[in-house]
A and B are shown apart, each in its own frame.
Chain A
Amino acid sequence: MTQISSTNESFALARRLYRYRWLIYSLVLRDLKLRYRGSVLGFAWTLINPLIFMGVYTLVFSVFLRAGIKDFPLFLLSGLLPWTWLSNALQQGSGAIVAGRMYVGKTLFPTEALIVVPVVSNLVNFLLSLPVFVVIAVLLHGHLGVALLALPLLIALQCAMTFGLVTVFATLNVFYRDVQQLVAHLLMLGFFLTPIFYAPDSIPASIRPWALANPFATMVIAYRSVLFENSFPGIDAIAYLTLAGLVLLGCGHLIYSRCKDSFGEYL
């Protein structure tokens, strides 16, 4: 016996995501397959982009500019790989509700799934790139060790932050299609303002706290300490990331639940 009434339920999202787990699983699989359909190198393309970045940035920053960061290729990759996950998820995700408009408001298809899929499929891509990182780290005599135990926690926190942010952008994009364009530019700015290819200490001390207030800077630094320095991220960093994750999820939930009823009008 199913009861449909106006009562609002808490944890409705979690329950819906669990109920539609097979749908999400299958859509993620399809998303991954589609990305490499018809290409000879397939998954390798996901790695080629960061590897080209690694090569060029190493050339520019270690050889031309002599920035003097030790083991620059690994230094860069340890921050670039999680950033790539964030960046691809945001770019793909901010247009997700608009792209799935045939499902929204007219069918039983859960709109939330449209937002979850880009986050998860890019997470899978990130996870697939980790073994390659390990191989490169071994070849270049990097420091990998017990700090890797903190990796699942970082990934979980990044999931929360990314999902929250994607929800905000995907929702706003229904009403203002400019958002999708804006996100591309924000990501470009974010890439330069986040210490991905430079060390945080190279920012002048007077403005450093401001420059690093961006939670994604904290995130990249935390990944780097795990993947590059083999040291556990500080408890303050974890606390800050948890806070950022909760705030972003909260913002996403607030905006989404306020707007979802008018999606149909705008799609």
Chain B
Amino acid sequence: MTNAIDVSHVSKTFRYVALERTVSLKDALVKRLFVPRDQRRRTVQALKDVSFSVGHGQMLGIVGRNGSGKSTLMRLLAGVFPPNAGTIAIDGTLTPLLSLGAGFHPDLTGYENARVELLVLGFSPKEAEAKLDAIRDFSEIGGFMDAPVRTYSAGMVLRLAFAVAFCVDPDILLLDEVLAVGDELFAQKCLTAIEGFKERGKTIVLVSHSIGFVERWCDVALWLERGEVHMFGEVQSVLRAYAENHARAEFG
């Protein structure tokens, strides 16, 4: 049996230009001409030789401190950018729910944003149109579907994003720290949807800072530390080690 996700020896390096953000044309030209190339560009290794796999129907929780590479890993899995080394194999359709509202255009309405997102995910206009009613119903934001997203509250953005992800009904769902906002009722609705998702044998990868949440829902856990896999395996043991490490860092 193949795995839903196979990640082997993946590394990701970001290059960034070490210039001031607001540059004048003169400055920019001077630096471009006289500062040697390797001094202008710096690199950050966000992920280093990361390998793990997730079986079909499993739910993986990714934990780690800020800047440990969790979001980079999620974006690699989503295919936003390719890794510098290593391979990622995905078996099935995948829908990412990355940083909240990142893919929403503030001037477009809820409907228009949902439509764009569906088209980005590869649906035809007809298929996208057919899903819009279900998205409106799931999100429960009613009339706001016709209003520009800039008028939405954070909770409404979350509702819309979740509604799109669930109505697409992918084989694999990526959730990057998106359950933090939203009211109790809608959170409950999302959890019910996630449960249904799991029951139908679908795969979920989620990033969360809430250890309790990961413990309750996930089967396997991945602990990232400075871009490397510190521990990967059954959820209880990984979380226990992670919690101990945390306690030591705080009190030791």
In the complex, the answer to whether B90 meets A2 with C-beta atoms within 8 Å is yes
* Chain B 20-48 near chain A by CB (<8 Å), digits 1 or 0: 01010100100000000000000000000
Does residue A265 face the partner (Cβ distance < 8 Å to B)?
Answer: yes
Residues of A within 8 A of B83 (CB): 4-6
When A30-B112, A102-B103 are in contact, do A22 and B87 touch as well, CB less than 8 Å?
A: no
Does residue B218 face the partner (Cβ distance < 8 Å to A)?
Answer: no
Does residue B247 face the partner (Cβ distance < 8 Å to A)?
Answer: no
Residues of A within 8 A of B23 (CB): 176
Does residue A63 face the partner (Cβ distance < 8 Å to B)?
Answer: no
In the complex, the answer to whether B88 meets A109 with C-beta atoms within 8 Å is no
Chain A proximity of B32: nearest CB distance (Å): 10
Q: How many residues of A contact B (CB 8 A)?
A: 30
**In the complex, A102→B87 CA distance in Å?**
27
Contact of A261 among B15, B85, B89, B124 (CB under 8 A): B15
Residue of A nearest to B12 (CB): A6
Chain B proximity of A240: nearest CB distance (Å): 31
When A2-B90, A30-B112 are in contact, do A107 and B125 touch as well, CB less than 8 Å?
A: no
Residue of A nearest to B21 (CB): A266
In the complex, the answer to whether A4 meets B15 with C-beta atoms within 8 Å is no
Does residue A53 face the partner (Cβ distance < 8 Å to B)?
Answer: no
Which chain B residues numbered 172 to 200 have a C-beta less than 8 Å away from chain A? none
**In the complex, A155→B84 CA distance in Å?**
39
Residues of A within 8 A of B122 (CB): 19
Does residue A23 face the partner (Cβ distance < 8 Å to B)?
Answer: yes
In the complex, the answer to whether B106 meets A102 with C-beta atoms within 8 Å is yes
In the complex, the answer to whether A178 meets B119 with C-beta atoms within 8 Å is no
Does residue B211 face the partner (Cβ distance < 8 Å to A)?
Answer: no
**In the complex, A176→B27 CA distance in Å?**
12
Residues of B within 8 A of A4 (CB): 76, 79, 82-83, 87-90
Residue of B nearest to A102 (CB): B105
* Chain A 151-180 near chain B by CB (<8 Å), digits 1 or 0: 000000000000000000000000110100
Which chain A residues numbered 1 to 48 have a C-beta less than 8 Å away from chain B? 1-6, 19-20, 22-23, 25-27, 30
Does residue A214 face the partner (Cβ distance < 8 Å to B)?
Answer: no
Q: Could you say which of B21, B75, B83, B102 has the most chain A C-beta atoms within 10 Å of its C-beta?
A: B102
Which size bracket describes the interface of B in this complex?
35 or more
Which chain B residues numbered 104 to 143 have a C-beta less than 8 Å away from chain A? 104-106, 112, 115-116, 119-125
Contact of A1 among B25, B89, B105, B116 (CB under 8 A): B89
Does residue A205 face the partner (Cβ distance < 8 Å to B)?
Answer: no
Chain B proximity of A136: nearest CB distance (Å): 35
Does residue B234 face the partner (Cβ distance < 8 Å to A)?
Answer: no
Q: Is the interface of A mostly helix, strand, loop or mixed?
A: mixed
**In the complex, A26→B112 CA distance in Å?**
10
Contact of A106 among B75, B84, B90 (CB under 8 A): B75
In the complex, the answer to whether B104 meets A102 with C-beta atoms within 8 Å is yes
In the complex, the answer to whether B116 meets A108 with C-beta atoms within 8 Å is no
In the complex, identify which listed stretch (B61-69, B91-99, B223-231, B238-246) lies at the interface while the others stay far away: B91-99
Which chain A residues numbered 215 to 242 have a C-beta less than 8 Å away from chain B? none
Residue of A nearest to B16 (CB): A265
Chain A proximity of B68: nearest CB distance (Å): 18
Chain A proximity of B138: nearest CB distance (Å): 20
Residues of B within 8 A of A23 (CB): 116, 119-120
**In the complex, A139→B84 CA distance in Å?**
62
When A4-B88, A19-B122, A30-B112 are in contact, do A262 and B16 touch as well, CB less than 8 Å?
A: yes
Residues of A within 8 A of B120 (CB): 20, 23, 107-110
Residues of A within 8 A of B170 (CB): none
Residues of A within 8 A of B (CB): 1-6, 19-20, 22-23, 25-27, 30, 100, 102-103, 105-110, 175-176, 178, 261-262, 265-266
Q: A1-B90, A23-B120, A108-B80 are in contact. List 13 more A-B contacts (CB 8 A).
A: A1-B91, A3-B90, A6-B83, A30-B112, A100-B105, A102-B105, A108-B79, A109-B103, A109-B116, A110-B120, A176-B28, A178-B25, A262-B15
Residues of B within 8 A of A (CB): 2, 14-17, 21, 23, 25, 28, 75-76, 78-91, 94, 96, 98-99, 102-106, 112, 115-116, 119-125
A-B contact pairs, 28 of them (CB 8 A): A1-B89, A1-B90, A1-B91, A3-B87, A4-B79, A4-B90, A5-B83, A6-B82, A6-B83, A6-B84, A6-B85, A19-B122, A20-B119, A23-B116, A25-B125, A30-B112, A102-B105, A103-B103, A105-B81, A106-B98, A106-B102, A107-B80, A107-B96, A107-B103, A108-B79, A109-B116, A262-B17, A265-B17
Q: Top 7 A-B pairs ranked by shortest CB distance? A: A107-B103, A23-B119, A106-B102, A4-B88, A2-B90, A5-B87, A109-B120
